[in-house]
Amino acid sequence: MDRYGIRLRFTAPPDETQLERLRATFPHLAELAPATLRERLSEQSVVVLRGLFSRDEGDAVVLQLANVGLDAEPFGNDYGLPYLRRELPAPDATWESAETALEVVFRPSFTPEVIVRLWTHDARDRLQLSSYNALVYHEHFGAPHWQNEDLYPRRERKIRKRRRGRSLWEDLPLDPPPARELPSEESANVPSLALFEAAERIPNVPRRLGIDGMLIDVELRRGERHETRELWSPRASDAPEAFDLLRRIHALAWLRLTKRESRRRLEELHSWLDLGAPVERLGGVPPVVRMWGVLTMREAEAIHAVLGELTPTGGVLDLSDVNSISGEALELFVDAASRLQIVARPSVRALLGRRAGIPSTQLHESRAEAIAAVTA
């Protein structure tokens, strides 16, 4: 028999009555003191309790929770396009009435899902990027928040995991905790650049899935005609038509969308789509160059080039959106000239100081601080 879980959604910390109901319904929650449980629930917008009930039992539990004002629903294995379309911000009303529309749903293995939509309305083309600042599959389906060691908050789990790792990463300062999971959306007028026609040229290919990659669903709507394609991590070498379409969509969104969350999602897709080194040259005086993601020896050539640009006369390397740097890649920073100033999160600053020997006077919390150090 299928077992159903309960998905709870919180917009505010639970009150005493709600805590009492939760602790009575879920025995493992009763293991925590009410104040501790309230604090930890307040850190989550969605809490998943998996595989606990039959469907009828789940419906009864949801009714009990609703009676004390809790937003809950039973769930099975309903993750997929309909669920993502429901959860992520919808486009405006002109999307549904558009005669020509293109939807691309990106489902990476380890970063948030993204929906990009392009449609024509009143002779103008619109583009929308819709996402959530956490992986929906993990947050709404895959994360047993209150089972086993996942009972601990994110920051505690990070410390526990780090202590089991290599000594290089032990005792690093904690980065600021992630923001509460929230949806984000941005739209803009754009030139379609014949992207609808490019979508029509994508051939049907046999279904292919993997573990570490990205599933991409492409749906083109022209009047009553709907065409769909399912792709797995397309590359220029094995799926040139699909890769070219996705590259052009990404470039268009990169050019027109400016919100911080939109840029984060595009940076993540940049890596998944293998669109080149994660480098953005911002110019200015002193010159500023950004890098993002996870830096490994795969980015060695780009790191060498950036350091060569910035170190002769002084410049700023903004690594504030770099999550980590591999041990080998850290060695590339050892010879960084003294005039190079680096912006990074606390854990990355610690790694650069510890492994690359970069003085703390060259490591900064903000770009403004780094620029001031160059011009001093």
Q: Is the pLDDT of residue 118 over 90?
A: yes
Predicted pLDDT of residue 151: 34
Predicted pLDDT of residue 302: 93
Predicted pLDDT of residue 174: 61
Check which CATH number belongs to the domain holding 58 and give it: 3.30.1390
Q: How far is CA 114 from CA 9, 62, 216, 281, in A?
A: 21, 29, 10, 25
**145 found inside a domain:** yes
* More confident position, 66 or 208: 66
Predicted pLDDT of residue 150: 37
* More confident position, 43 or 166: 43
Are both 203 and 63 inside the same structural domain?
Answer: no
pLDDT band at 178 (very low <50, low <70, confident <90, very high): low
Q: Is the pLDDT of residue 142 over 80?
A: no
Predicted pLDDT of residue 106: 97
Check which CATH number belongs to the domain holding 363 and give it: 3.30.750
Are both 233 and 125 inside the same structural domain?
Answer: yes
**170 found inside a domain:** no
pLDDT band at 56 (very low <50, low <70, confident <90, very high): confident
* Domain termination residue (choose one: 236, 256, 272): 272
Percent of the chain with pLDDT over 90: 56
State the average pLDDT over residues 34-62.
84
**162 found inside a domain:** no
Are both 226 and 88 inside the same structural domain?
Answer: yes
Give which of 307, 301, 303 is closest to 325, Cα–Cα: 303
**348 found inside a domain:** yes
Are both 266 and 305 inside the same structural domain?
Answer: no
Mean pLDDT of the chain: 85
**159 found inside a domain:** no
Q: Please say whether the beta carbons of 264 and 294 come within 8 A.
A: no
pLDDT band at 306 (very low <50, low <70, confident <90, very high): very high
State the average pLDDT over residues 104-127.
94
Percent of the chain with pLDDT over 70: 87
Are both 65 and 142 inside the same structural domain?
Answer: yes
**167 found inside a domain:** no
Distance CA 124, CA 321 (A): 34
Q: Is the dihedral of CA 40, 45, 51, 57 positive or negative?
A: positive
Are both 197 and 290 inside the same structural domain?
Answer: no
Q: Is the pLDDT of residue 164 over 60?
A: no
Distance CA 368, CA 364 (A): 9
Residues of the domain holding 325: 279-375
Are both 107 and 71 inside the same structural domain?
Answer: no
**16 found inside a domain:** yes
Distance CA 98, CA 246 (A): 21
**367 found inside a domain:** yes
Are both 219 and 354 inside the same structural domain?
Answer: no
Tens of pLDDT, residue by residue over 187-246, are 999 988 899 999 999 987 776 667 778 999 999 999 889 999 999 999 999 899 999 999
Are both 224 and 92 inside the same structural domain?
Answer: yes
State the average pLDDT over residues 311-322.
90
Note the pTM of the prediction, 2 decimals: 0.79
State the average pLDDT over residues 356-371.
94
Are both 236 and 259 inside the same structural domain?
Answer: yes
* Domain termination residue (choose one: 243, 272, 301): 272
Check which CATH number belongs to the domain holding 116 and give it: 3.30.1560
Give 103's strand partners.
Answer: 117, 219
Token pair in block for residue 184: 């984000």
pLDDT band at 22 (very low <50, low <70, confident <90, very high): very high
Q: Is the pLDDT of residue 376 over 90?
A: no
SS (H, E, C) the chain: CCCEEEEEECCCCCCHHHHHHHHHHCCCCCCCCHHHHHHHHCCCCEEEEEEEECHHHHHHHHHHHHCCCCEEEEECCCCCHHHHHHHCCCCCCHHHHCCEEEEEEEEECCCCCEEEEEEEECCEEEEEEEEECCCHHHHHHHCCCCCHHHHCCHHHHHHHHHHCCCHHHCCCCCCCCCCCCCEEEEEEEECCCCHHHHHHCCCCCCCCCCCCCEEEEEEEEECCEEEEEEEECCCCCCCHHHHHHHHHHHHHHHHHCCCHHHHHHHHHHHHHCCCCCCEEEEECCCCEEEEEEEECHHHHHHHHHHHHHHCCCCEEEEEEEEEEECHHHHHCCCCCCCCEEEEECHHHHHHHHHHCCCCHHHEECCHHHHHHHHHC
Between β-strands 46-53 and 100-108, what pairing exists: parallel, antiparallel or unpaired?
unpaired
Distance CA 24, CA 14 (A): 14
* Domain termination residue (choose one: 222, 242, 272): 272
Number of domains in the chain: 3
Are both 61 and 112 inside the same structural domain?
Answer: no
Are both 92 and 201 inside the same structural domain?
Answer: yes
Q: Is the pLDDT of residue 323 over 90?
A: no
Predicted pLDDT of residue 338: 72
State the average pLDDT over residues 41-68.
85
Q: Please say whether the beta carbons of 347 and 372 come within 8 A.
A: no
Predicted pLDDT of residue 270: 95
